[in-house]
Amino acid sequence: MDMGRVDVDLLVEEITREVLGLLREGGAGLPGVDPLCLACQGQCIGKCSEKVRNIVEAGASRVGAGLGVSPVARELAQYIDHTLLRPEANRDQITQLCQEALQYGFAAVCINPTWVRLCAELLRGSPVKVCTVVGFPLGATLLEVKAYETRRSVRNGAEEIDMVINIGALKSRDYALVQDDIEAVVMASEEEGAICKVIVEAALLTDEEKIKACTLAKAAGAQYVKTSTGFGPGGATTHDVALMRQVVGREVGVKAAGGVRTLEDAKSMIAAGATRIGASASVKIMQEAASPFNHS
């Protein structure tokens, strides 16, 4: 175990130096991808194949296309996890969340574990995924508890798990513990047939720590890294999204969450490298996207 710890520490330090060097040279982020195509009238796959290929290579797992619906709204909906994580959320509000997700075609709903079974029932047979949170919002529970929470949630119907890293361990430079913590949830997710997104709570971290967290998440096999819980001191920023994309490359998705409240916010995050957006203001964003003033 000690040898493994040394190996992890060396790997993390090496990657951190490399990415910080790129930042100093102004190289953070990926080559620009038009965040939302406004000119194809819903036929992006046929008319803008190069843009679609760039988006897929950047990590997108869903690309929507079709006639009769605003291309902005249709494409944007596929990025959004429609989110309601407030502790006071009640059954009626969760039901409404699912109805809105079906109406707009969001990628997923993101809710606390207690609501997973209800959401799975309401969304059964639809393409909308059920996403829930683990170790939320502090990330300070034991890895065995996070793994158990993951398994129970997936068996109740969750298809995506957003887990919070052990932030204190990261700040203590106990990188082996951080990776073990993530791996426990990734393994539990995969064994039950779900994917895992890793919340780093970027507002609590330095750039160096963000790089380390994303490096460890990728090494642990996570499918996404995510900026924020929405309960920390700050939410997603384009700087953090671009930095995280720089670290994880094209193989891992980046979810921007926390404070994404407008269409411009969402487009900025996608332009910076996000392949998923977590938002509670999803309906407002979609209404903006459907406006004719946003189609030119």
The 10s digit of each residue's pLDDT in 123-180 is 999 999 999 999 999 999 999 999 999 999 999 999 999 999 999 999 999 999 999 9
The pLDDT, as a whole number, for residue 129 is 98
The pLDDT, as a whole number, for residue 295 is 52
CB 225 within 8 A of CB 241: no
Beta-carbon neighbour count of residue 253 at 10 Å?
Answer: 23
Confidence of residue 48 (pLDDT cuts 50, 70, 90): low
List of residues 6+ apart from 185 with CB closer than 8 A:
134, 135, 143, 146, 147, 150, 161, 163, 196
Length of the chain: 296
Residue written as tokens 């620009």?
Answer: 32
Confidence of residue 15 (pLDDT cuts 50, 70, 90): confident
User: Over 80: is that where the pLDDT of 284 sits?
Assistant: yes
User: Over 60: is that where the pLDDT of 55 sits?
Assistant: no
pLDDT digits (tens, 9 = 90+) for 63-103: 444 333 466 687 899 999 999 999 999 999 999 999 999 99
The pLDDT, as a whole number, for residue 6 is 53
Whole-angstrom CA distances from 125 to 64, 116, 157 are 18, 15, 12
Q: How many domains does the chain have?
A: 1
Confidence of residue 36 (pLDDT cuts 50, 70, 90): low
Percent of all residues in the chain with a pLDDT value above 90, rounded to a whole number: 72
- CATH for 174: 3.20.20.70
The pLDDT, as a whole number, for residue 32 is 43
Please state, rounded to an integer, the average pLDDT across all residues of the chain: 86
DSSP-assigned letter for residue 128? P
The pLDDT, as a whole number, for residue 26 is 64
Confidence of residue 46 (pLDDT cuts 50, 70, 90): very low
By mean pLDDT, which of 4-13, 95-104, 216-225, 277-286 is the weakest? 4-13
Secondary structure of residue 227 in the 3-state scheme? coil
Maximum Cα–Cα distance across the chain: 60
If phi over 0 gives left and psi between -120 and 50 gives alpha, with beta otherwise, what is residue 70? beta
Beta-carbon neighbour count of residue 110 at 10 Å?
Answer: 31
The packing angle between helices 238-248 and 207-219, to 10°, is 40
Beta bridge partners of 159: none
Percent of all residues in the chain with a pLDDT value above 70, rounded to a whole number: 80
CB 84 within 8 A of CB 278: no
Radius of gyration of the chain (CA): 18
Tokens for 243, please give them.
Answer: 């930095």
List of residues 6+ apart from 61 with CB closer than 8 A:
253, 275
Amino acid in position 286: M
The pLDDT, as a whole number, for residue 33 is 46
Residues with catalytic roles: 162, 226, 255
In which domain, by residue range, is 243 found?
A: 2-27+35-294
Q: What is the mean pLDDT of residues 268-274?
A: 97
Secondary structure of residue 165 in the 3-state scheme? coil
Q: Is the dihedral of CA 146, 147, 152, 154 positive or negative?
A: positive
